[in-house]
Amino acid sequence: MDSIDRKIINRLQQNARVSLKALAKECYISPPTISARIHHLEQLGIIKNYYTLIDYKKAGYHIKAFVHVKVDPKDKSNFYKYIESIPNVLECDCVSGEFSMVIKVIFESTELLDSFINLLQRFGKTNTQIVFSTPVDVRGVSLSEEKA
């Protein structure tokens, strides 16, 4: 991981569909080298996936929420299996604090969110935050492009 790799990663985070040619120009190295570096970063697992961000509201998902669940440690593996299988789950993290799980979900309506929460109750107490607006939408980090 040198400064060129970091520059490549930064550009790919901003736009995953940027061409090798454009990257080559910006990094002052040739397209074959860019290609080789990207493959290397993929192999190392630093680049995990190329993902398309869509407007969920325009796709009919009007409700976004963070659902917190207090899951008993012994139910964790069942919980993980269940939560993975729900397509409405956009992310799930195990965190410190009273509620051990944070789940980011989207639903077409509050009714569907409600029935999801009801199903979750079997794993433990829940607490839900409805999202009103998103001042900073899903984005990547800018890695420092200094030599370091």
Partner DNA sequence: AGTGAAATGAATCTGTA
Partner DNA sequence: TACAGATTCATTTCACT
Site of interaction with a second copy (CB under 8 A): 1, 9, 12-13, 15-17, 44-56, 58-59, 61, 64-66, 80, 83-84, 87-97, 102-103, 106, 127, 129-143
Half-sphere exposure of 63 (CA within 13 A, CB side): 16
Residue 64, beta-bridge partner list: 106
SS3 state at 17? coil
Angle, CA of 80, 84 and 89, to the nearest 5°: 115
Tokens of 128: 């839900």
Contact 100, 48 (CB under 8 A): no
| 7 binds DNA, rule: CB under 7 A | no
- State the nearest-atom distance from the C-beta of 21 to a second copy, in Å: 15
Contact 42, 35 (CB under 8 A): no
69 binds, among DNA, a second copy, none (CB under 5 to 8 A by kind): none
Site string for DNA, 29-68 (x = CB under 7 A): xxxxx-xxx-------------------------------
- State the nearest-atom distance from the C-beta of 54 to DNA, in Å: 19
133 binds, among DNA, a second copy, none (CB under 5 to 8 A by kind): a second copy
- State the nearest-atom distance from the C-beta of 75 to a second copy, in Å: 13
Contact 3, 147 (CB under 8 A): yes
Interface ranges with DNA (CB under 7 A): 4, 19-21, 28-33, 35-37
